[in-house]
Amino acid sequence: MKSLILTIVLFSTAVITFAQKNVVLRLHHRLAGQPFAFNQTSSNNLGNSFNVSRLEYYVSSIKVKHDGGLTANATDVYALVKANATSTDIDLSSLSVNDIEGITFSIGVNTPQNNQDPTQWAAGHPLAPKTPSMHWGWTAGYRFVAMEGKTGNNLNT
């Protein structure tokens, strides 16, 4: 009887272990077909020059489409992405998937977390208070995107 129970436990552990895959969403930022860099001069669709000195944004509501149209939600996964990193990896944890067909996500923080007190989060959490701030104030919610830079003649504006 003990060997039957041990066999069942080992089989269950093997099935669970092999059915899980560590899924990572990797973001590579690009501008005008080139790797993104701060203070890199580029032009918008109207031909106006600009550069960016700060670009941060939140990613939430991540869903992984897999195995013939099934969807797995990356529950409670939030990332504060800083575009000056060569790439940003967002760990979606172990999901029961075989073939990933697509990943969708939202820019910004979903409700109700968007309107909660940011001081409730541990210091290292993406939704904890940041410097410079990514939050408008306790009830107003998070900034979805913070972008700073220069434009105009000689990039003086």
- Tell me the pLDDT tens digit for each residue of 54-103: 999 999 999 999 999 999 999 899 999 999 887 899 999 878 888 999 99
112-117 CB contacts, 8 Å cutoff, 24+ apart: 113/60, 113/78, 114/141, 114/142, 115/139, 115/140, 115/141
pLDDT at residue 94 in the model: 74
Q: Tokens 């409700």: give the residue.
A: 111
Give CA–CA dist 59/78, Å, rounded.
Answer: 6
* pTM recorded for the entire structure: 0.81
Per-residue tokens: 38 = 């701060």
Give CA–CA dist 142/58, Å, rounded.
Answer: 9
Using omega within 30 degrees of 0 as the cis cutoff, is the peptide bond preceding 132 cis? yes
Is residue 111 scored above 60 in pLDDT?
Answer: yes
Q: Which residues pair with 82 in a beta bridge?
A: 56
